Chains A and B, each alone.
Chain A
Amino acid sequence: MRFDLPDTPPGAEALRAELRAFLAEAGRAWTPEIRARSWMGFDRDFSREVGARGWIGMTWPKAYGGHERSGLERVVVLEEMLAAGAPVGAHWIGDRQSGPLILRLGTEEQRRRILPGIARGELAFCIGLSEPDAGSDLANLRTKAERVPGGWKLNGRKIWTTFAHKSDYMIALVRTSPAPEGGSRHAGLSQFLVDLRLSGISIRPIRDLAGADSFNEVTFDDVMLKEDDLVGAEGAGWAQATSELAFERSGPDRYLSSYPALSLGLDALAANPVPGAEVTVGRMVARLSALRGMSLSVGGMLERGEDPAVEAALVKDVGNVFEQALPEHLRGLLDPEDSPAELRALLAALTQLTPTFSLRGGTREILRGIIARDLGLR
Chain B
Amino acid sequence: MNELRGILVEQVERLVADAGGVAPLREVEAGGFPQALWDGLSEQGLALALVPEEAGGVGLSWGDAAALWQVLGQHGAPVPMAETMLGAALLSAAGVEVPDGVLALGEKGAPFGRHATNAVKLDGARLTLHAVEGATPGANIGREPRDDLTLAPRSAAGILPNSHGPRALRLGLALIRAAQIAGAMERILALAVDWANTRKQFGRPIGKFQAVQQQLAAMAGEVAAVQVAVSNAARAVDARGLAEAAFEIGCAKVVAGEAATFGAATAHQVFAAIGITEDHELHHFTRRLWAWREEGGTDRAWAAEIGKLALARGGANLWPDLTARDA
Contacts and interface: CB of A to CB of B under 8 A. Distances in A.
A269 B217 contact: no
B218 A317 contact: yes
Interface in A52-68: none
A32 interface: no
Contacts of B320: 16, 20
Interface string B191-223: 001001100000000011010111011101110
Contacts of A317: 217-218, 221
B303 A12 contact: no
Contacts of A266: 310-311, 314-315, 318
Contact of A5 (B222, B231, B319): B231
Contacts of B318: 262-263, 266, 285
A365 B229 contact: no
B307 A279 contact: yes
Contact of A292 (B208, B210, B216, B322): B322
Nearest to B214: A368
B323 interface: yes
A224 to B, nearest CB: 42
A371 B219 CA distance: 10
Given A286-B302, A369-B217, A378 B307 contact: no
Contacts of B227: 3
Contacts of B228: 3, 5, 290, 293-294, 297
Q: Is the interface of A mostly helix, strand, loop or mixed?
A: helix
Contacts, number: 173
Contacts of A297: 228
B76 interface: no
Nearest to A297: B228
B273 interface: no
Given A266-B318, A365-B214, A8 B326 contact: yes
A362 to B, nearest CB: 13
A286 B214 contact: no
A178 B280 CA distance: 51
A4 interface: yes
A288 B322 contact: yes
B222 A263 contact: no
Contacts of B300: 279
B1 interface: yes
Contact of A286 (B221, B254, B315): B254
B167 to A, nearest CB: 17
Contacts of A267: 314-316
Contact of B304 (A265, A278, A287): A278
Contacts of A291: 225
Given A263-B316, A266-B311, A318 B326 contact: no
B188 interface: no
Contact of A377 (B196, B222, B322): B196
A378 B208 contact: yes
A285 to B, nearest CB: 5
Contact of A282 (B208, B222, B310): B310
A372 B220 CA distance: 9
Contacts of B255: 286-287, 290
B99 to A, nearest CB: 35
Contacts of B1: 4
Interface in A349-372: 365, 367-369, 371-372
A16 B322 CA distance: 12
A317 B223 CA distance: 13
A290 B232 contact: yes
Contacts of B302: 282, 286
B27 interface: no
Interface in A66-101: 79, 83
Contact of B217 (A265, A294, A368): A368
B217 A7 contact: no
Contacts of A282: 250, 254, 302-308, 310
A122 interface: no
Given A1-B224, A5-B231, A377 B193 contact: yes
A80 to B, nearest CB: 8
A277 interface: yes
B251 A290 contact: yes
A270 B254 contact: no
B107 interface: no
Contacts of B252: 286, 290
Contacts of B315: 262-267, 270
Contacts of A288: 322
Given A12-B326, A289-B248, A297-B228, A279 B221 contact: no
B272 interface: no
18 contacts: A1-B220, A1-B224, A3-B228, A262-B318, A263-B319, A266-B310, A266-B318, A267-B314, A277-B307, A277-B311, A282-B302, A283-B258, A283-B307, A289-B322, A292-B322, A318-B225, A368-B213, A371-B221
Given A3-B227, A289-B322, 11 more contacts: A4-B231, A5-B235, A8-B326, A266-B318, A280-B307, A282-B303, A290-B252, A294-B228, A314-B221, A372-B213, A372-B216
